[in-house]
């Protein structure tokens, strides 16, 4: 009898442990998949005519593109300076336009592939496959210096550990910047800077379709780094299309969902 009751107890505890493990597993699966479902989405409309990549967002097509407001990367709270992004596409290019309100835009780095993330910059991360492990990263400064990288990311289970291949360059990428003020020197009184970019679909090698099909979804995120004063980091901010929930841009499981509409 005694042995039986010990066995029964053991079985009961084993069963309880199994149930807890199963519930934990299901809960983890649910929270992981729900994080990808909760990200913001955006519908990319076709451009009606030519987009001139000069940094001026004055083509009539841009007026019909939805304006998405960037918020603080970690928290999703509002940022103190208006920061927005718009997208368009045609058969050849994906077009991106940023607006950055900025009382003092500045930049020192002038060479292609310089480490721009230490200064003021807008950034585009593109993951056409939606597998959350590889993506293209582009950065453009107020003086139109560009760095592009191909990123390999270990994923959410490995806390987004990543490495970047800077020697990868996208052929045919175009960018233009317009500054209402002076984008070079710090301490000058400026109003805003705007950026236009064109990404040739043919060079986005990991995309299933080039150009994308009607209704196709790509994971992407769009960021801005504002550095109030280069010597005083207190008024820096980091803004994102979809907040990443942590102080890092390299969070592909939190990239937004972008739908191409014909």
The CB-of-256 to Ca ion minimum distance in angstroms stands at 23
DSSP, res 156: G
Closest CB to Ca ion among 102 and 123? 102
Q: How many chain residues interact with Ca ion (CB under 5 A)?
A: 10
The CB-of-181 to Ca ion minimum distance in angstroms stands at 10
The CB-of-108 to Ca ion minimum distance in angstroms stands at 13
The span of 18-26, 146-154, 215-223, 252-260 binding Ca ion (CB under 5 A) equals 146-154
Residue owning tokens 């590889």:
134
| Residue 215, token pair as written in the block | 């209704």
Closest CB to Ca ion among 32 and 236? 236
Residue 102: partners with Cβ closer than 8 Å, 6 or more residues away: 81, 120, 142, 181, 190, 191, 192, 193, 226
| Residues 30-59: x where in contact with Ca ion by CB under 5 A, - otherwise, as a string | ----------------------x-x-x---
How many CA within 13 A on the CB side of residue 93?
22
The CB-of-178 to Ca ion minimum distance in angstroms stands at 8
Residue 115: partners with Cβ closer than 8 Å, 6 or more residues away: 109, 147
Q: Which of 93, 125, 148, 173 binds Ca ion (CB under 5 A)?
A: 148
Closest CB to Ca ion among 127 and 137? 137
Report how far residue 131's alpha carbon sits from residue 239's, in angstroms, rounded to the nearest whole number.
23
| Residues 157-196: x where in contact with Ca ion by CB under 5 A, - otherwise, as a string | ---------x--x---------------------------
Q: 200 near 211, Cβ under 8 Å?
A: no
* Residues in 106-145 that interact with Ca ion by CB under 5 A: 113
The CB-of-21 to Ca ion minimum distance in angstroms stands at 45
The span of 3-11, 70-78, 147-155, 177-185 binding Ca ion (CB under 5 A) equals 147-155
The CB-of-127 to Ca ion minimum distance in angstroms stands at 17
Considering only CA atoms, give the Rg of the chain. 22
Residue 102 within binding range of Ca ion, rule CB under 5 A? yes
Closest CB to Ca ion among 30 and 202? 202
Closest CB to Ca ion among 56 and 133? 56
The CB-of-34 to Ca ion minimum distance in angstroms stands at 35
Distances (CA, A) of 134 to 81, 150, 185, 220, 250: 31, 7, 35, 11, 10
Strands 237-240 and 217-226: antiparallel
Give the number of other Cβ atoms within 10 Å of residue 152's Cβ: 12
How many CA within 13 A on the CB side of residue 205?
7
Give residues in contact with Ca ion (CB under 5 A): 52, 54, 56, 102, 104-105, 113, 148, 166, 169
């Amino acid at each position: 009898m005694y042995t039986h009751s010990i066995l029964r107890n053991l079985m009961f505890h084993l069963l309880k442990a199994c149930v807890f493990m199963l519930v934990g597993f299901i809960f983890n699966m649910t929270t992981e998949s729900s994080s990808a479902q909760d990200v913001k989405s955006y519908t990319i409309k076709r451009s009606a005519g030519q987009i001139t990549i000069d940094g001026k967002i004055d083509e009539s097509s841009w007026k019909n593109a939805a304006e998405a407001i960037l918020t603080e990367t970690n928290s999703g709270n509002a940022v103190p300076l208006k920061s927005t992004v718009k997208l368009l596409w045609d058969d050849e290019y994906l077009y991106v336009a940023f607006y950055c309100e900025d009382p003092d835009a500045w930049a020192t780095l002038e060479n292609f592939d310089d480490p721009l993330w230490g200064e003021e910059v807008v950034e585009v991360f593109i993951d056409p496959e939606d597998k959350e492990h590889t993506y293209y990263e582009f950065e453009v400064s107020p003086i139109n210096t560009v760095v592009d990288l191909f990123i390999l990311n270990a994923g959410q289970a490995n806390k987004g550990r990543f490495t970047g291949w800077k020697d990868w360059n996208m052929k045919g990428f175009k960018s233009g910047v317009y500054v209402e003020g002076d984008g070079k020197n710090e301490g000058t009184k400026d109003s805003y800077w705007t950026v236009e970019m064109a990404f040739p679909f043919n060079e986005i090698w990991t995309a299933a379709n080039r150009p994308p099909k009607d209704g196709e979804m790509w994971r992407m995120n769009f960021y801005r780094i504002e550095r109030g004063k280069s010597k005083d980091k207190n008024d820096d901010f980091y803004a994102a299309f979809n907040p990443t929930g942590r102080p890092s841009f390299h969070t592909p499981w939190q990239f937004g969902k972008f739908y191409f509409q014909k």
